């Protein structure tokens, strides 16, 4: 790898540096310049002792592991934001990953995409809809993006693979490194995807799956796509996090309605009340997709913002809530949540009890705080990180 990519990787792997903080740093200095700073200069810039030691170190054996992974196949790639192949729509989002690891053909990242997400414990009908819709989208030149999970995700990938062509396939975004496929029963499916589509992760190849990784990968699923279709989601489904990120990223959100008494559809049905578009047929979905302004090649030439839908879903519009907005004194988001986190791990259910914030909303806030480098997901829950560089 070249020195520019090497410097980006070192900064990205620095403890406590999330995508938002990474962006703030490179607005002031390039990663290469930063690595030339003295210990004193890094300290004055606001880096804590752990970060300073990491940035000053010349011993990063994990870089050789990335080199070895890249050398392991022609279809393995490490894309930084400055690369031309980095998908333009994802680049425009507020917390785009500084680096993406990709296995498969890069072209699929810049093709028109619709994300299809939903319940892991989906019904037969829900699985059929996900499979049939993704297959027909592929025939109509639209790539399906999802998260490789059981249920709706897996069926969406399989449907797209059944009819993929030169113009459309499927993209899977993982909550682990690309050497650790999760769930394991989708190992064969992942192999088919990297051969015919693409696997994507912001995590280094050797990183194992972890509960806290999956909510944050959802912003990449919605960020790559021009629209998100939710097929069956319970009221605590991770798919609702994807929908909320889609709203924040100015993506259209579509919902396949479910029975009002079905627990598998309580979350997705609620999205309709919050502004999502009800989809009752494939043709309706296709017509809506064709009307989306940025349903075009997802590169830097055609990355277009459009008016925000689902305003009420966006985490940025939660300021009227007790826990929403920025603290006027500290400038940090979600002060109520941060006030209940310390150096000892706190489980999510305990945080929900302390703050009286709904678990789904709480997870969205925790992901945002983790991306900004204010909290970290560890064994046993979440901890607060203090003293990071601005």
Alpha-carbon distance 198 to 192, whole Å?
A: 9
How many other CB atoms are found less than 10 A from the CB of residue 193?
A: 28
Give tens-digit pLDDT for 277-329.
999 999 999 998 888 766 655 544 344 333 333 433 433 333 333 333 444 33
Phi, psi of 378 (to 5 degrees): -130, 175
Alpha-carbon distance 209 to 233, whole Å?
A: 22
Can you give the pLDDT at residue 296? 54
Stretch (H or E) spanning 171? strand 170-173
Give tens-digit pLDDT for 126-144.
999 999 999 999 999 999 9
Can you give the pLDDT at residue 387? 55
- Mean pLDDT per 10-residue segment, the chain (390 residues): 95 93 93 95 93 94 96 94 95 93 96 95 92 96 96 97 89 98 97 97 96 92 96 86 91 88 83 90 91 61 37 36 38 80 82 84 85 82 68
Stretch (H or E) spanning 339? helix 335-339
Can you give the pLDDT at residue 198? 98
Alpha-carbon distance 333 to 374, whole Å?
A: 9
The token pair at 228 is: 């998100």
Can you give the pLDDT at residue 338? 87
Task: Fill in the DSSP letter of residue 78.
Answer: E
The closest of 193, 169, 153, 178 to 113, measured between CA atoms, is: 169
């Amino acid at each position: 790898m070249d020195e520019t990519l090497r410097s980006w990787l070192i900064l990205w792997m620095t403890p406590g540096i999330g995508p938002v903080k990474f962006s703030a740093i490179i607005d002031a200095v390039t990663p290469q310049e930063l690595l030339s700073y003295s210990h004193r200069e890094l300290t004055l810039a606001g880096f804590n002792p752990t970060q300073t030691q990491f940035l000053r170190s010349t011993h990063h054996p994990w870089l050789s592991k990335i080199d070895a992974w890249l050398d392991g196949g022609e279809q393995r790639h490490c894309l930084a934001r400055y690369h031309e192949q980095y998908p333009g729509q994802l680049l425009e989002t507020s917390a785009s990953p500084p680096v993406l690891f990709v296995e498969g053909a890069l072209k699929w990242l810049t093709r028109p995409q619709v994300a299809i997400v939903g319940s892991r414990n989906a019904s037969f009908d829900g699985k059929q809809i996900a499979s049939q819709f993704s297959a027909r989208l592929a025939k109509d030149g639209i790539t399906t993006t999802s998260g490789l999970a059981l249920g709706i995700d897996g069926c969406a990938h399989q449907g797209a693979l059944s009819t993929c062509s030169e113009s459309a396939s499927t993209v899977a975004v993982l909550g682990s490194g690309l050497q650790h496929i999760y769930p394991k029963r989708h190992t064969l499916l992942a192999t088919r995807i990297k051969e015919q589509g693409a696997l994507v992760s912001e995590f280094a190849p050797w990183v194992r799956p972890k509960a806290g990784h999956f909510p944050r990968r959802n912003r990449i699923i919605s960020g790559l796509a021009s629209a998100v279709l939710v097929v069956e989601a319970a009221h605590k489904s991770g798919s609702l996090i994807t929908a909320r990120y889609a709203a924040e990223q100015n993506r259209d959100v579509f919902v396949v309605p479910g029975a009002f008494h079905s627990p598998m559809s309580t979350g997705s049905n609620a999205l309709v009340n919050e502004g999502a578009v009800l989809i009752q047929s494939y043709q309706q979905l296709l017509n809506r997709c064709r009307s989306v302004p940025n349903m075009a090649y997802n590169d830097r030439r055609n990355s277009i913002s459009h008016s925000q839908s689902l305003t009420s879903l966006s985490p940025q519009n939660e300021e009227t809530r007790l826990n929403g907005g920025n603290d006027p004194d500290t400038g940090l988001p979600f002060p109520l949540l941060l006030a209940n986190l310390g150096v000892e791990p706190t489980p999510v259910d305990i945080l929900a009890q302390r703050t009286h914030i709904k678990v789904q909303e709480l997870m969205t806030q925790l992901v945002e705080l983790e991306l900004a480098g204010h909290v970290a997901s560890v064994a046993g829950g979440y901890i607060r990180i203090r003293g990071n560089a601005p």
